[in-house]
Structure 1
Amino acid sequence: MSTPHYPFTAVVGADSLDEPQPMALALLLTAISPAVGGVLVRGEKGTAKSTIVRALAAVLPPLDDAPVPLVELPVGATEDRVIGSIDLETALGEGKTRYQPGLLAKAHRGLLYVDEVNLLHDHLVDLLLDAAAMGRATVERDGISMTHDARFVLVGTMNPEEGELRPQLLDRFGLTVEVAAPREPAVRAEVVRRRMAYDADPAGFAARYADSEAALTTRIATAQKLLPEVVLSSAALLKIAEVGAAFDVDGLRADIVTARTAVAHAAWCGRTAVTVDDIRVAARLALPHRRRRNPFDAPGLDEDLLDQILGDDDLPPDPPEGGGPGDDPAGDGGEADAGPSTDAADGPAHSTDDPADTADAPPRSTADFADTADAPPRWLSRSEAPAEDRVETAAGTQTTTTIPAGTPYRTRLLTVAGTGAGTTGRRSRAKTSSGRRVGVDPAATAGAPHLVETIRAAIPHQHARGRTDGRLLIETSDLRRAEYEGRESNLVLFCVDASGSMAARKRMAQVKTAVLSLLLDAYQRRDKVGLVTFRGHDAEVVLPPTGSVDVAAARLQDLPAGGRTPLAEGLTKVAELLAVERIRDARRRPLLVVVTDGRATSGADAVARSHLAADRLAQQGVASVVIDCESGPLRLGLAADLARHLGADYLEVGDVSAGDLIAAARIATEGAA
C-alpha cells in the first residue's frame, strides 16, 4: 500500500478555504480555469513549494472516475522525452514507425509539474508554454509528423537564488507568486508539528484531513461548473484595462490573464459576476512578474497604486441590452480585439461597449496616480554622492567609499576559442546534448541513439548472429549516439582591486558598470559570473559564481572601496574559488579578469607573494587578462609584471573604458584554446 500524500489542506496557510495563501489560491484558480495559463512559484528552499503542488492533484475532481494525472518533468529531460519520438524498439524489431508518447501527452487533462523550472533549457520551457497555451503539442521529428491534445495545468517552481527565468518566458506564465518561510515563531512551530505528525503516521495524519480535502474537492468542482456562467461586465473589463495601462505592462497578455483570473476567482467565491475584489486578487497574481523591465528588476506591484485605480465602489451593471453570456464581444459578429476568450473553457463572454460611454474616460496612466511608479530601478537611478564611512584601524582612521555603477550597456559577444564540453548555454562553441549534429559516438553511454548509424553498425553482423527472418538483430554494441555541437556557458570571474587608490580615481565605477553589463549578457547566455575584491588586509568573495542577476546587482551596487592593497590575498582567494568550481562543474571553462595597478601594500613581502600566487594560477592554465589602473607621469609597471606571471594579456587603463573592459575579456578568451 502506497504512502498517502501530504494533504493540501494540511499545509499551513492553505488550510483556510475562505482566505488561502497566495500560492494555494493561484494553484486553485488555475485548476478551476486552465486557460489562466499556469502558475510559477518563486521562493527560497524549504517553503513547501513541491509539497503543495503534489498535493493539488489529489484534491482535483476526478476525470471519468479516474484520478487527475500528475506528471513531473525532470530538469534533465531531453526534447524527445518531453514531446515524444519514434518507438525505437518497434522500429528496429518490426520495421514499423510508431509514435512513443512523451510527457506532454501523458499530462493531458492533468497537471504538469516542473521543479526548478529556471534550470530547464529555454527551448524546453518554450515547448511547455506553447503546449499549455494552445492545448496541443506538435511533433515534427524522426520521420513523425503529428499533433495531439495536451491540455494541462502547468506549474513551475524555482529558487531565484539559482538563477532567473528570462523575462520573455516569465511573462508566459499566467500567474506568479512569491513565497517565503514564515517569520512568526508560532507559525513555524505549527509547520514543524504537522510535518513530524505526518512522518510519524502518514495514514493517520491524512485521515484527520479527509473531510477538509473532500470539501475542497467539492468546492473546486462547483467552481468549475459555475465558471461558464460568470459574467465579465463592460465596466469590469474597462477596469482591468485601466490597471494594465496604469502599470505600463507590455502587450495585452496581462489584461487577458487578469480577466480570466478574475472570472475564476468569482467562480471560486460562488458569484456569477466579476467584482472589484476579484480584479484586485487577479492583478496581484497576474501583474507583478510583468512589471520587470530588465533582468535586474525584482517582481513587484505597487499596492497603493492598485487601490487608487480600483477604488472601493462596486462596478456598475451593464445595460439591459448587453452583458449576457451569448453576446458577440466585437459587436458585429467578428472577434474582439482583446480580452478573454468566449469559449466556455476559457471563461465567460463579455458585452459590447458603446464607444460613447468610454470616449471621455480613457485608460489612466501611472502618472495619474503616482509620481514615482514609472521610476527606473533603484540600481539604475541612484545618483546620490558616494557615501563615505570612517573605520578605525590599528594604523589609524581609514576611509571607505561606495561608488555607484553607471547604466549597463550591451556587451560584445565573448567566446572561448576551440570546442568545449561545458554546460549547455549560449556563448562558446561546445559539444552539447542539443544543437547541430556533427557526428556519432560509439562509446557514448548517454543521449538519444542515432537510428541510421545504429542500423548501419548492425548490418555487417546479421549472418554471424543467425538472422533467419526479416527482423534486424540489434545488440548493445551496435548503438551509436549522435554528437551535437551547440553553445556552452562559461564562468567569468572578476578580481577587483577595491583599495583606496581605486576609489580615488573612480575606477570602481567603471568596473561595476562593466561587471553589471557582463552579468546582463551572461544572464541572457546562461553564464555564471563571480566577483572577488581585495582591500584592507584581506580578500572577499563578494559575488559567488551565480546566474541570479537580482542578488548580483544588489551586492555590486553596495561594493565599498578604500584601504591597503592585499593583491596576493585576492589572487589566492581566486584560486580557492576556482578549485571549488572545478569540483562543482569541471567542464565549465573560466576567464579571470584582474583589475589593479599591480601594487601590493599589505603585509611583508607583499609583491613577492602576489607574484607567487599569480604563478600558481598560470600553472593551472587559467585564461586571464590584467587591466592596469596605474596613472600619472611616474609609472612602476607593476601590473605588467603581474600579467607576465599570470601569463595574461595586458592593457593599460588609458586604453580601457567601461566598454573596453569587455573587449579586454574578449581578447583573453579568444586567445585561450
Structure 2
Amino acid sequence: MAAESWAAALALLAIDPAGLGGAVLRGPGGPGPEAFIAGIRRLLPERRMFRLPPHIGADRLAGSLYVAETLRTGKPCLDPGLLAEARGGVLLIASGERLTPSKAGFIAAAVDERPGEYLLIVCDEGQDDERAPPALAERAAFLLDLPEDFDETLTAWQDLAAARALLPNVVLPDVITAALCGAALSLGINSLRPALFACAAARATAALDGRREVSQDDATAAVRLVLAPRALRFPVPEAAAEPETPPPPPASDENDANKSDGNPSAREMSELLLAAVKASLPQGLLAALEQNLRQSQAKSGAGAASEKLGVTRGRPAGTRAGEPRNGARLALVDTLRAAAPWQPLRRRAAPGRQGLIVTSTDLRIRRYQQKRETTAIFVVDASGSAAVHRMAEAKGAVELLLADCYVRRDRTALIAFRGKAAEVLLPPTRSLQRARKSLADLPGGGGTPLAAGIAQAVEVATQVRRAGGTPLAVFLTDGKANIARDGAASRPAALADAEAAARMLRLAGVRALMIDLADARGGPAQRVAEAMAAQYLALPRADAASISRAVAAAMPTDA
C-alpha cells in the first residue's frame, strides 16, 4: 500500500480517535514508526502520550495499594496505575509482541470499560509468528506495515479541523453498513469490531472530503484500510445462480424502487467492495495469512501463551527487603521485627503519631523455592550380545524409579542406541504401563553409536529444561563405541565423536551419571565420563536395584 494510504490512516485517526481506537505499527523500529508517532503528536497535541514498556509490572499498570505510603501516613494510599493516568491520552506500547496476555487483558478491559478514552499505538516488531496480542490488535482499526520512507507531513495539506467539526453530521446509509458487514464476513473476519471500525473509517473519510454522506468510494477506502489487512480468506465465486422466482407482492414496491433509483443493493455493494479489496491485495497474501492462522491455532495450547510466574508459592526460603508488589507476599512478622528497634527514634521525630511507625525500609517480602521436576533420561547401549541383559536391567531400574515418581513428582525417559542411530523409546513420563510397553519388544545387536546416543540425550535434556524441569542423564554402556557420527565403522573416530558429544553435554550444563558395564574399570566409558563431567560408577554386574539406588543418589534432593 502506498505511503499516501498510511497518511490517510493517520489523518483518519486524527479526525476520529475515539471511533477508530488506534493503530498497530508492524515491522522493525525505524524512521517509519517514529514518523507515524510524530504525526500523532502533531495532529493531536491535546492528547498526552504515555509510553508503556513491555516489562511493566501488573501493579503499576492496573494500580494497587501503595503499602509504603500507607504505612507512613497511617491512611490508605492508592497508586492509580498507568492505565488510569493515560485516560484521554495516547497509550504508546513499545515492543507489543513481548507483552504478556495478562497485561494485554488489563489494557483491553480498560479500553472496553471507557470507550473512546484511549488511543492505542502498538509497535509490533515481532518476526515470523511473533505478533502483538490479538486482544490489542482487535481494538485498533489499522494494522499498518509502515514503509521506512513514511513521511507524516503528507497530512499537512488536509483541513482536519473542518473534518472534525463535520464528522457528527456525516450520515452512513444502511445499505453501506450492511455491505461493510457482509464484506467482513466474506473475508473471514468473525469479530464485530473490525466492521464497526470500517464504518467509522468510512464516515471519517467522507468528513475529510467535506461531504455529509458516505459514498461507495468512502466505503472502498475503509475496506482497504481496515478489513483488507485482517483478511483470512477470499470468497470462492459461486456457481451460476438459478433463475429468480417472481418476488411476492409485498416486496414488489421496494424492489421497483430500488430498480428505479439505480442504487446497488447491500449484497451487490458488498461484492463491489470485495472486488476492490482483491485488486489491492498483493499476490499470495491471503494464502500466507491463512497458513499463519493455522500455525497460530496449532500453537495455542497451554504452552503457547504461557508466561513465567513469580515466585509466590513453594517451600518458604526466608525473606528479603522489598515492597509487596506484583504478587509478592508481605512477611508481617519480619517487617515488625525490622521496625521495632527504630520506634524510639521515630516517636521522637513524630511525637503526635500513634501506634507502630513503619517505613518502606522495614518492609520484608517472603521468598519461596519451588521444587523443579527432575527427569531421569536413561541412555542405554542396546548393541552387541549383552544387549538383552542391559535392557532387562534398564527396564527394572525404570520400573523401580517410577514407583517413587508419585512421591517425588519425577519423570523418566529412555533412549536406546544401536546399529547406526539412537532412538527415543520413551519420552519423559510417569506412566509405568507406558514404560513397560516401550521396553517390551526392543531388539538388540549391531554396532555401538555412542556419540549418537549422547547427542540424542542433549536434545531431550534441552526439551526438559525448556519445559521448566531438571534433566539427569544416566548412561548404561561399556563405552566401546565403534560407529562414528557419519555412520562409518571406525573405533578411533567413534570414540573421538563420543568425547566431542560428551563435551557438548557438559557445556549444556546437564548433570550426568555414567554406569560402566564393562568387565574392567578405566576403559573408554571412564574417558567419556570425564569428558562430560559425569559421576562415574563401575558396575559390571549391576542389577536393577543397584542401578536404581545409584540414580536415586545422583538425583537432586530439592531440584
CA distance in 1, matches of 2:301, 2:485: 30
CA distance in 1, matches of 2:495, 2:137: 50
Contact 1:618 1:646 in 2 (8 A): yes
Contact 2:320 2:366 in 1 (8 A): no
- Could you say which residue in structure 2 is the equivalent of 1:106? 85
Matched, 1:481 2:365: yes
Contact 1:40 1:177 in 2 (8 A): yes
Cα offset, 1:265, TM superposition: 2.0
Contact 2:177 2:199 in 1 (8 A): yes
Cα offset, 1:69, TM superposition: 0.8
1:341-400 Cα offsets, whole Å, 9 max, x none, are: xxxxxxxxxxxxxxxx96987966999999x9998659969xxxxxxxxxxxxxxxxxxx
CA distance in 1, matches of 2:120, 2:302: 34
CA distance in 2, matches of 1:458, 1:96: 21
Matched, 1:59 2:43: yes
Contact 1:23 1:179 in 2 (8 A): yes
CA distance in 2, matches of 1:31, 1:598: 67
Contact 1:50 1:157 in 2 (8 A): no
Contact 2:90 2:121 in 1 (8 A): yes
Instruction: Give structure 2 stretches of 5+ with no counterpart.
Output: 238-263, 373-448, 474-482, 513-527, 535-557
Matched, 1:174 2:52: no
1:398-423 Cα offsets, whole Å, 9 max, x none, are: xxxxxxx9999679867xxxxxxxxx
Cα offset, 1:42, TM superposition: 0.3
Counting only pairs closer than 5 Å after superposition, residues 272-421 of structure 1 correspond to structure 2 as: 272-292=212-232
Amino acid corresponding to residue 14 of structure 2 in structure 1: A
Amino acid corresponding to residue 119 of structure 1 in structure 2: R
1:251-275 Cα offsets, whole Å, 9 max, x none, are: 3222111111211222222222112
2:20 pairs with one of 27, 30, 36 = 36
Cα offset, 1:178, TM superposition: 0.9
Q: Classify the secondary structure of the residue corresponding to 1:249.
A: coil
More moved, 450-459 vs 597-606: 597-606
Q: Classify the secondary structure of the residue corresponding to 1:443.
A: strand
2:193 pairs with one of 253, 270, 282 = 253
1:85-107 Cα offsets, whole Å, 9 max, x none, are: 22334411221113322222222
Contact 1:240 1:255 in 2 (8 A): yes
* TM-aligned CA distance change 1:281 to 1:408, over 3 Å: closer
Matched, 1:84 2:63: yes
Contact 2:94 2:124 in 1 (8 A): yes
User: When the two structures are aligned, how many residues end up with a matched partner?
Assistant: 390
Matched, 1:132 2:18: no
Amino acid corresponding to residue 238 of structure 1 in structure 2: A
- Could you say which residue in structure 2 is the equivalent of 1:639? none
Q: Name which one, 1 or 2, has greater alpha-carbon Rg.
A: 2
* TM-aligned CA distance change 1:407 to 1:246, over 3 Å: closer
1:443-488 Cα offsets, whole Å, 9 max, x none, are: 3568727567375445533534442422643345412236589999
The structure whose residues are more often helix, as a share, is 2
CA distance in 2, matches of 1:242, 1:181: 34
- Could you say which residue in structure 2 is the equivalent of 1:432? 310
2:118 pairs with one of 152, 163, 188 = 152
CA distance in 1, matches of 2:208, 2:314: 50
* TM-aligned CA distance change 1:161 to 1:411, over 3 Å: closer
CA distance in 2, matches of 1:644, 1:365: 73
- Could you say which residue in structure 2 is the equivalent of 1:240? 180
Q: Classify the secondary structure of the residue corresponding to 1:160.
A: coil
2:343 pairs with one of 451, 459, 463 = 463
Contact 1:94 1:471 in 2 (8 A): no
- Could you say which residue in structure 1 is the equivalent of 2:391? none
Amino acid corresponding to residue 27 of structure 2 in structure 1: G
Cα offset, 1:153, TM superposition: 0.6
Q: Classify the secondary structure of the residue corresponding to 1:126.
A: helix
CA distance in 2, matches of 1:482, 1:181: 48
Q: Classify the secondary structure of the residue corresponding to 1:112.
A: strand
Q: Classify the secondary structure of the residue corresponding to 2:306.
A: strand
Q: Classify the secondary structure of the residue corresponding to 1:41.
A: strand
Q: TM-score, normalization: structure 2?
A: 0.55
1:267 pairs with one of 193, 197, 207 = 207
Aligned alpha-carbon RMSD (Å) = 5.6
* TM-aligned CA distance change 1:226 to 1:485, over 3 Å: farther
Contact 2:3 2:147 in 1 (8 A): no
CA distance in 2, matches of 1:59, 1:127: 28
* TM-aligned CA distance change 1:436 to 1:156, over 3 Å: farther
Matched, 1:611 2:491: no
- Could you say which residue in structure 2 is the equivalent of 1:222? 162
Q: Classify the secondary structure of the residue corresponding to 2:343.
A: coil
Cα offset, 1:51, TM superposition: 4.2
CA distance in 2, matches of 1:108, 1:366: 36
CA distance in 2, matches of 1:229, 1:485: 62
- Could you say which residue in structure 2 is the equivalent of 1:558? none
Q: Classify the secondary structure of the residue corresponding to 2:102.
A: helix
Cα offset, 1:114, TM superposition: 0.7
Q: Classify the secondary structure of the residue corresponding to 1:176.
A: strand
* TM-aligned CA distance change 1:73 to 1:253, over 3 Å: same
* TM-aligned CA distance change 1:436 to 1:40, over 3 Å: farther
1:94-146 Cα offsets, whole Å, 9 max, x none, are: 2111332222222222211011111112111122122223317xxxxxxxxxx
Contact 2:171 2:213 in 1 (8 A): yes
Contact 2:343 2:356 in 1 (8 A): no
Q: Classify the secondary structure of the residue corresponding to 2:71.
A: helix
Amino acid corresponding to residue 267 of structure 1 in structure 2: A
CA distance in 1, matches of 2:320, 2:299: 42
- Could you say which residue in structure 1 is the equivalent of 2:541? none
Q: TM-score, normalization: structure 1?
A: 0.46
CA distance in 1, matches of 2:266, 2:32: 48
CA distance in 2, matches of 1:29, 1:484: 51
* TM-aligned CA distance change 1:360 to 1:614, over 3 Å: closer
CA distance in 2, matches of 1:266, 1:480: 60
* TM-aligned CA distance change 1:238 to 1:118, over 3 Å: same
CA distance in 1, matches of 2:207, 2:41: 20
Cα offset, 1:20, TM superposition: 5.7
Cα offset, 1:239, TM superposition: 1.9
1:562-615 Cα offsets, whole Å, 9 max, x none, are: xxx9x89x969x99xx9xxxxxx999889999xxx9842589965334312321
CA distance in 2, matches of 1:112, 1:411: 27
Counting only pairs closer than 5 Å after superposition, residues 512-523 of structure 1 correspond to structure 2 as: none
Q: Percent identity?
A: 22
